[in-house]
């Protein structure tokens, strides 16, 4: 069963619901539902309602309860003697749940033999049937004890082979409990039906009184107990008499249990406080700390979210599809080496045939064959099926069952990376609401964690204001997405100025783009290694497909030799050359003279600046501050640590 791995309370609730049990949110300390639940003794809990209960903040950290008498009857044994008696006198059941003090023994409900829920503080064994609830497996008692399904050798699924409840079980339990004379609780005659009905009613009332139910809560169940020949008013009167008698008879027991509960609550609160206490830091051996599990480059990382933000038309889909093919094929297509990975692409905008065109263009351009990625690439289109993990339910943000289904598929196919493009189409919530976005982002984070994979979310940026460049902080909507991501990269297109510096026709600069990380890459464009170019690839059907390929900023030192440097140094040594590019004696003019370059061309001037800066960094040239002829302090460029091979022209 799915409980073989560690699950939280909500996962247990979903597991039990999927098995057909009636599951309800329950108070984390008191053993009662947090919702009005009488209707669910007869009705089913819908999937939409389960989605609401498990995603609403209203029910965070709650326990879960099962309605008894519908699918299962539960025998509650609260002592060692009681557990031994059940083992020896009732049929073996593989479905047993350890509680804080004993065990719950589960039996399939028998429609031919209905049984009412009953409880008596003087009884060592109680039965939870119709009209009752039991705290569900996976819940946590206030003492910290988890309600746990017992695992036995040879039992793969304890829900298989559970025996059916039989009429004689109740007789055996009644005989073992040796019930007291219930009429003596309140004395006097009763107009309600006597015998078994009255006894069961007294036990039910006593059980609820001892569990701190209010009179109103107990009386709300009374009408369902009305038998033929009696009115609802008579049943209510009988219930009230039983309530008054139970409160009087068990006053000391109630007070004792209340004191015990307060003590348990105080203990639980102290334990919770201790868990929040500051912990002294102990420096660990760095070699023993597990390294980050990078899946591809320094962007995709296992068990974390990564986010790509970019404006429309910047090539983000072309980039992530190329990365997907590279990872699946285990090939270095974009300058990043990678072992073969299992990749799942969810494109929520384009139809599958468009994705086939794009991937075909990538494979043709890079000579990738089907056998290169074999069965490691999975592609789904949002046009064929929706990937919706969150939506608004009754005015509140709620997760959908798709979260668990995606996790199951990731585990089933051993997915290393899932790419969702665009993120905004994976939910139907207000993207400007940080609270709602936090719910969605944490769900994707949970998918990454439980699926042991990298989750890549592709997102749009809002339009930048005039005169401002976009940054990762301009990701559209609330900041919860980019705040939660382990790595955020921003794709930015080449500017017209950069195109001039690189010597690229300004009509073609739209083809070039680079990326910046979450701290905004401030390196000059000539030193950025993430430049890419969109090239056009014509596939066999005649369509032209845009494909990303690596691109390098033009090398300023292409065709520049050591002899050229020596000639520049000689010219600099024999003259006075300024560092200031605005000066008529700018040192760049000396470089242009030696290399026969036109320094008036902006792209050429950029190349000359790069060479000068590099030579200064390498100490081939140096900057010296001294007075000029007019005794004004200026910065001059002189020869640095002159090499022995300097030529004299």
Same structural domain for residues 494 and 619? Answer: no
CB 117 within 8 Å of CB 131 = yes
pLDDT of residue 553: 76
Residue 288 within any structural domain of the chain:
no
Same structural domain for residues 78 and 165? Answer: yes
CB 547 within 8 Å of CB 524 = no
Same structural domain for residues 195 and 249? Answer: yes
Percent of the chain clearing pLDDT 90 (strictly above): 32
pLDDT at 321 over 90: yes
- Higher-scoring residue by pLDDT: 524, 186: 524
Same structural domain for residues 507 and 573? Answer: no
CA-nearest of 57, 49, 43 to 14 is 49
Residue 555 within any structural domain of the chain:
no
The angle at the Cα of 206, spanning 205 to 208, to the nearest 5 degrees, equals: 65
pLDDT of residue 338: 94
pLDDT of residue 122: 63
Question: pLDDT band for position 556 (50/70/90)?
Answer: low
Same structural domain for residues 358 and 451? Answer: yes
pLDDT at 647 over 90: no
pLDDT at 179 over 70: no
Length of the chain: 649
Q: Can you tell me whether residue 394 is helix, strand or coil?
A: coil
What is the rounded CA–CA span in Å between residue 503 and residue 555? 11
What is the rounded CA–CA span in Å between residue 298 and residue 310? 18
Helix, strand, coil share of the chain (percent; to 5):
40, 20, 40
Domain stops at, among 530, 550, 570: 550
pLDDT of residue 474: 52
pLDDT at 230 over 60: yes
β-pairing, 96-98 with 103-108?
A: antiparallel
pLDDT per residue as tens digits for the range 442-454: 999 999 999 999 9
Q: Can you tell me whether residue 29 is helix, strand or coil?
A: coil
Q: Is the dihedral of CA 465, 470, 476, 480 positive or negative?
A: negative
Same structural domain for residues 199 and 330? Answer: no
The angle at the Cα of 513, spanning 508 to 514, to the nearest 5 degrees, equals: 155
pLDDT of residue 635: 92
- Chain-centroid distance of CA 645 in Å reads 63
Same structural domain for residues 154 and 269? Answer: no
Query: Is the backbone peptide bond immediately before 422 cis, with ω within 30 degrees of 0?
Result: yes
pLDDT per residue as tens digits for the range 486-511: 888 888 888 877 777 677 777 777 88
Written as one string, the DSSP assignment of 570-634 is: HHHHTS-EES-TTSTTBHHHHHHHHHT--TTSHHHHHHHHHHHHHHHHTTSEEEEEEE-TTS-EE
Residue 282 within any structural domain of the chain:
no
Question: What does the pLDDT average to over 384-401?
Answer: 84
pLDDT of residue 643: 54
- Domain at 74, CATH number: 3.30.720.160
pLDDT per residue as tens digits for the range 183-209: 333 333 444 444 468 877 887 888 778
Same structural domain for residues 270 and 311? Answer: no
- Higher-scoring residue by pLDDT: 305, 153: 305
Residue 152 within any structural domain of the chain:
yes
Beta carbons within 8 Å of 306's beta carbon, 6+ residues apart:
299, 300, 454, 455, 456, 457, 485, 486, 487, 488, 489
Task: Lowest mean pLDDT of 22-26, 340-344, 435-439, name the range.
Answer: 435-439
Domain stops at, among 212, 246, 277: 277
- Domain at 388, CATH number: 3.40.50.300
pLDDT per residue as tens digits for the range 43-92: 889 888 898 898 887 888 899 999 999 999 999 988 877 888 888 889 98
Exposure letters 56-90 (e unless 16+ CB within 10 A, then b): beebeebbbbbbbbbbbbbbbbbeeebbebbeeeb
Task: Lowest mean pLDDT of 115-129, 377-391, 406-420, 569-583, name the range.
Answer: 115-129
Percent of the chain clearing pLDDT 70 (strictly above): 88
Residue 289 within any structural domain of the chain:
no
pLDDT of residue 519: 39
pLDDT of residue 345: 96
Question: What does the pLDDT average to over 312-331?
Answer: 92
Residue 285 within any structural domain of the chain:
no
Question: What does the pLDDT average to over 315-323?
Answer: 93
pLDDT of residue 193: 47
Could you give phi then psi for residue 474, rounded to 5 degrees?
Answer: -90, 10
Written as one string, the DSSP assignment of 511-569 is: GEEEEE-TT---S-GGG-TT-EEEEEEE-TTS-EEEEEEE--PPPTTTT--HHHHHHHH
Same structural domain for residues 172 and 185? Answer: no
Residue 496 within any structural domain of the chain:
yes
What is the rounded CA–CA span in Å between residue 49 and residue 398? 10
Q: Can you tell me whether residue 466 is helix, strand or coil?
A: coil
Beta bridge partners of 490: 309, 516
Question: What does the pLDDT average to over 106-114?
Answer: 91
pLDDT of residue 527: 53
What predicted TM-score, i.e. pTM, was given to this entire model?
A: 0.54
Number of structural domains (the chain) is 4
Residue 648 within any structural domain of the chain:
no
Same structural domain for residues 484 and 530? Answer: yes
The angle at the Cα of 624, spanning 618 to 628, to the nearest 5 degrees, equals: 150
pLDDT at 5 over 50: no
Question: What does the pLDDT average to over 593-614?
Answer: 83
Q: Print the domain residue range for 525.
A: 294-550
Same structural domain for residues 27 and 87? Answer: yes
Question: What does the pLDDT average to over 575-589?
Answer: 89
Task: Lowest mean pLDDT of 17-21, 59-63, 120-124, name the range.
Answer: 120-124
Same structural domain for residues 395 and 521? Answer: yes
Domain stops at, among 129, 155, 179: 179
Question: What does the pLDDT average to over 384-388?
Answer: 88
């Amino acid at each position: 069963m799915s409980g073989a791995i560690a699950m939280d309370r909500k996962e247990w609730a979903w597991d039990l619901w999927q098995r057909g049990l009636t599951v309800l949110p329950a108070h984390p300390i008191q053993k009662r539902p947090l919702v009005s639940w009488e209707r669910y003794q007869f009705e089913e809990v819908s999937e939409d309602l389960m989605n609401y209960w498990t995603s609403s903040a209203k029910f965070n950290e709650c326990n879960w309860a099962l309605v008894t008498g519908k699918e299962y009857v539960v025998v509650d044994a609260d002592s060692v003697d009681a557990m031994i008696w059940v083992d020896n006198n009732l049929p073996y059941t593989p479905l047993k749940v350890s509680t804080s003090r004993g065990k719950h023994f589960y039996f399939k409900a028998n429609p031919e033999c209905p049984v009412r829920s009953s409880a008596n503080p003087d009884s060592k064994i109680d039965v939870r049937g119709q009209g009752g609830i039991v705290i569900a497996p996976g819940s946590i008692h206030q003492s910290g004890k988890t309600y746990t399904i017992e695992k036995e050798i040879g039992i793969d699924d304890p829900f298989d082979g559970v025996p059916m409840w039989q009429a004689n079980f109740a007789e055996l339990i009644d005989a073992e409990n040796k019930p007291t004379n219930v009429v003596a609780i309140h004395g006097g005659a009763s107009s309600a039906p006597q015998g078994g009905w009255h006894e069961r009613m007294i036990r039910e009332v006593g059980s609820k009184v001892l569990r701190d139910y209010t009179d109103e809560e107990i009386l709300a169940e009374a009408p369902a107990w009305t038998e033929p020949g009696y009115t609802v008013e008579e049943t209510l009167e009988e219930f009230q008499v039983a309530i008054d008698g139970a409160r009087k008879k068990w006053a000391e027991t109630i007070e004792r249990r209340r004191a015990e509960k307060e003590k348990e609550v105080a203990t639980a609160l102290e334990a919770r406080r201790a868990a929040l206490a500051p912990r002294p830091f102990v420096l660990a051996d760095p070699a023993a700390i597990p390294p980050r599990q990078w899946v591809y480059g320094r962007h995709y990382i296992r068990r974390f979210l990564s986010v790509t933000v970019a404006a429309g038309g910047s090539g983000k889909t072309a980039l992530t599809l190329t990365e997907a093919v590279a990872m699946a094929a285990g090939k270095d297509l974009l300058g990043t080496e990678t072992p073969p990975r299992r990749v799942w692409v969810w494109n929520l905008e384009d139809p599958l045939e468009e994705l086939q065109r794009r991937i075909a263009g990538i494979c043709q351009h890079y000579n990738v064959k089907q056998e290169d990625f074999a069965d490691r690439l999975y592609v789904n289109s949002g046009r064929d099926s929706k990937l919706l993990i969150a939506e608004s339910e009754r005015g509140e943000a709620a997760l959908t069952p798709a979260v668990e289904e995606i996790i199951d598929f990731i585990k089933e196919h051993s997915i290393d990376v899932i790419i969702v493009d665009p993120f905004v189409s994976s939910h139907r919530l207000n993207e400007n609401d940080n609270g709602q976005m936090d719910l969605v982002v944490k769900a994707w984070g949970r998918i990454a964690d439980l699926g042991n994979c990298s989750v890549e979310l592709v997102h749009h940026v809002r339009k930048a204001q005039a005169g401002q460049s976009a940054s990762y902080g301009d990701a559209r909507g609330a900041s919860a997405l980019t705040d939660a991501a382990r790595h955020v990269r921003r794709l930015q297109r080449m500017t017209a100025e950069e195109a001039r510096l690189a010597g690229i026709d300004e009509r073609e600069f739209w083809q070039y783009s680079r990326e910046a990380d979450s701290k905004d890459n401030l390196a000059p464009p000539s030193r950025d290694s993430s430049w890419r170019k969109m090239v056009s690839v014509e596939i066999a059907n005649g369509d032209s497909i845009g494909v990303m390929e690596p691109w390098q900023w033009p090398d300023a030192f292409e065709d520049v030799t050591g002899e050229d440097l020596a000639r520049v140094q000689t010219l600099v040594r024999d003259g006075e050359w300024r560092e200031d590019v605005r000066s008529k004696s700018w040192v760049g003019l000396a470089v242009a003279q030696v290399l026969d370059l036109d320094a008036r061309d902006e792209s050429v001037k950029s190349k000359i600046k790069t060479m000068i800066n590099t030579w200064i960094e390498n100490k081939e040239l140096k900057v010296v501050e001294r007075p000029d002829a007019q005794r004004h302090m200026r910065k001059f460029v002189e020869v640095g640590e002159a090499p022995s091979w300097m030529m004299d022209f």
